[in-house]
């Protein structure tokens, strides 16, 4: 609020960006010419457009790694990052122990459904409990916070290349637990502020369960021999 008072020129900006969430992303990187923003993106090279979006996704990844600035992920949401992470997760969980037996690991569609359906249910839950966060903002946060677990899966697959003995299991267990804690902590840092204080635990618990299940899928992944 003091920020807005000291710079009256930008005082109207937060209101505008809240009401039109989609536009914010463009405005930030085109700060030099905010007036003709809609026209100037027309004749820019495609490479710039793609790079700008990628940069926005990359910035959000950094925010998940350092979950301190709780506004950045919430103000300008996108679902590119969650899609990327979810597809990576589901693809890397393939090629596992698919024997002739049917009770192997989760299939691609199962991972996909668990991630998306899970985050939709958690979002609905927090909205029903009276949270002030918008639907897609919450989806965005939950999706981006899968990142530590996806990284853990990549490392786990590398570890599994070396062998699958007890030592490798202990390494994977430590990795997955650490990234599970990280995911839960990061998403809680973003989401918990939007809740009434006496309901925080009710909102955090489903998030905990969600990342726990994803962590379990990663930990139990064992490659086909």
Partner 1 sequence: MATTKDPFEFQEFEEAESLLEENRGSTTINIEDVKESQKQKRSLGGDEDEEYLLTNDDKAKLLSGPSKNAPIWSFEYYQKFFDVDTHQVRSRIIGSVLPWPGKNFIDLHVGRNPDLYGPFWICATLVFAIAISGNIANFLVHLGKPNYKYVPEFRKVTIAATAIYCYAWLVPLALWGVLLWRNNKVLNLVSYSFMEIVCAYGYSLAIYIPAVVLWIIPSEGLRWCSVVVALCLSGSVLLLTFWPAVRDDNLRVSIAIMSAIVVLNVLLAVGSKMYFFSSPEPVHQANNSSVVMTIPAKASN
Write out the residues near partner 1 by the rule CB under 8 A: 96-97, 99, 101-107, 110, 125, 127-130, 196, 198-202, 205-206, 209, 212-213, 216-217, 220-222, 225
| Closer by beta carbon to partner 1, 10 or else 216 | 216
Q: How far is the CB of 215 from partner 1 (least distance, A)?
A: 11
Q: How far is the CB of 209 from partner 1 (least distance, A)?
A: 6
| Closer by beta carbon to partner 1, 65 or else 209 | 209
Q: How far is the CB of 77 from partner 1 (least distance, A)?
A: 20
Q: How far is the CB of 97 from partner 1 (least distance, A)?
A: 5
| Closer by beta carbon to partner 1, 61 or else 169 | 169
| Closer by beta carbon to partner 1, 114 or else 186 | 114
Identify the residue whose tokens are 């379990």: 216
| Closer by beta carbon to partner 1, 122 or else 145 | 122
Q: How far is the CB of 188 from partner 1 (least distance, A)?
A: 14
Residue 136 has a CB neighbour count (10 Å cut-off) of 14
Cα–Cα distance, 68 to 80 (Å, whole number): 22
Q: How far is the CB of 121 from partner 1 (least distance, A)?
A: 8
Cα–Cα distance, 55 to 84 (Å, whole number): 14
| Closer by beta carbon to partner 1, 11 or else 177 | 177
């Amino acid at each position: 609020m003091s920020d807005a008072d000291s710079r009256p020129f930008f005082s109207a900006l937060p209101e505008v960006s809240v009401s039109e969430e989609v536009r914010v992303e463009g405005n930030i990187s085109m700060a030099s010419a905010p007036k003709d923003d809609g026209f100037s993106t027309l004749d820019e090279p495609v490479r710039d457009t793609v790079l700008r979006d990628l940069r926005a996704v990359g910035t959000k990844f950094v925010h998940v790694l350092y979950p301190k600035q709780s506004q950045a992920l919430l103000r300008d949401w996108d679902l590119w990052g969650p899609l990327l992470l979810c597809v990576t997760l589901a693809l890397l969980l393939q090629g596992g122990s698919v024997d002739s037996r049917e009770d192997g690991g989760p299939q691609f569609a199962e991972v996909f459904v668990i991630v998306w359906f899970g985050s939709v249910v958690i979002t609905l839950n927090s909205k029903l409990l009276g949270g002030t966060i918008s639907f897609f903002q919450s989806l965005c946060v939950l999706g981006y916070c899968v990142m530590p677990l996806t990284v853990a899966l990549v490392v786990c697959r590398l570890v599994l290349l070396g062998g699958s003995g007890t030592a490798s299991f202990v390494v994977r267990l430590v990795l997955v637990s650490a990234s599970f804690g990280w995911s839960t902590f990061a998403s809680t840092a973003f989401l918990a502020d939007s809740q009434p204080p006496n309901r925080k635990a009710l909102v955090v618990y489903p998030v905990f369960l969600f990342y726990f299940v994803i962590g379990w899928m990663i930990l139990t992944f064992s490659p086909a021999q």
